[in-house]
Structure 1
Amino acid sequence: MDADPPIDPKDDPRSVDDLFNAALCEPDEDLAWDAVMALHWRGTREILDRATALATSVCPLERRVGAEVLGQLGCPARTFPDEARDILARMLETETNADALKAAIIAMSHQDGTEGRRATLAFREHPDPEVRWAVVQALSTLGEPWAIAGLIELSRDSDPRVRDWSTFGLGAQTDVDTAEVRAALVARLDDEDAPTRGEALDGLARRNDPAVPSILRERLSRADPDQFEVEAAGELGDPEFLPLLLALRSAGWPGPSWALDGAIAACAPAPMDTPPARPRP
Structure 2
Amino acid sequence: MKTRHHEHFEADPTPSHEVARRYREALDDDDQEASLALLHYRGGEDEFKLGSEYCRSNDAADRATGADMLAQLGWSDRTFQNESVAILTELLGDSDPYVIHCAAVGLGHRSAPSAIPSLLGLCGHSDAIVRYGVVLGLSGHEDDRAIAALIQLSKDDDHDVRNWAVFGLGSQIEADSLEIRKALREALADPDHEIRGEALVGLAKRGDPCIVPDLLNEWRDREVSILSIEAAEVTHDSRLYPRLKNFTEIFTLDDAPYFAERLAAAIDACKPVA
Match of 1:201 in 2: 200
Quickly say closer, same or farther: Cα 1:225–1:91, change in 2 above 3 A.
Answer: closer
Tell me, yes or no, if structure 1 residue 67 matches structure 2 residue 50. Answer: no
Match of 2:214 in 1: 215
1:29 to 28, 31, 43: 31
Tell me, yes or no, if the aligned pair for 1:239 and 1:267 is still in contact at 8 Å. Answer: yes
Match of 1:102 in 2: 101
Tell me, yes or no, if the aligned pair for 2:154 and 2:161 is still in contact at 8 Å. Answer: yes
Following TM superposition, the consecutive aligned residue runs of length 4 or more in structure 1 with deviations greater than 6 angstroms are none
CA-atom RMSD in angstroms: 2.1
Q: 2: distance between equivalents of 1:200 and 1:56?
A: 40
Map Cα deviations across residues 94-137 of structure 1 (whole Å, 9 max, x no partner). Answer: 30101111111111112254112442121111222121111111
Match of 1:270 in 2: 273
Q: 2: distance between equivalents of 1:103 and 1:63?
A: 9
Q: 1: distance between equivalents of 2:227 and 2:83?
A: 42
Quickly say closer, same or farther: Cα 1:107–1:205, change in 2 above 3 A.
Answer: same
Shift of 1:232: 2.3
Q: 2: distance between equivalents of 1:22 and 1:186?
A: 44
Shift of 1:32: 2.8
Match of 1:79 in 2: 79
Gaps of 5+ in 2: 1-6
Q: 2: distance between equivalents of 1:220 and 1:253?
A: 16
Q: 2: distance between equivalents of 1:22 and 1:105?
A: 22
Tell me, yes or no, if the aligned pair for 1:191 and 1:197 is still in contact at 8 Å. Answer: yes
Q: 1: distance between equivalents of 2:91 and 2:222?
A: 51
Tell me, yes or no, if the aligned pair for 1:67 and 1:107 is still in contact at 8 Å. Answer: yes
Tell me, yes or no, if the aligned pair for 2:229 and 2:266 is still in contact at 8 Å. Answer: yes
Q: TM-score, normalised by structure 1?
A: 0.85
What are the equivalent positions in structure 2 for 1:69-148 lying under 5 Å apart?
69-92=69-92, 94-148=93-147
Identity %: 32
Shift of 1:215: 2.5
Q: 2: distance between equivalents of 1:233 and 1:242?
A: 9
Gaps of 5+ in 1: 1-6, 272-281
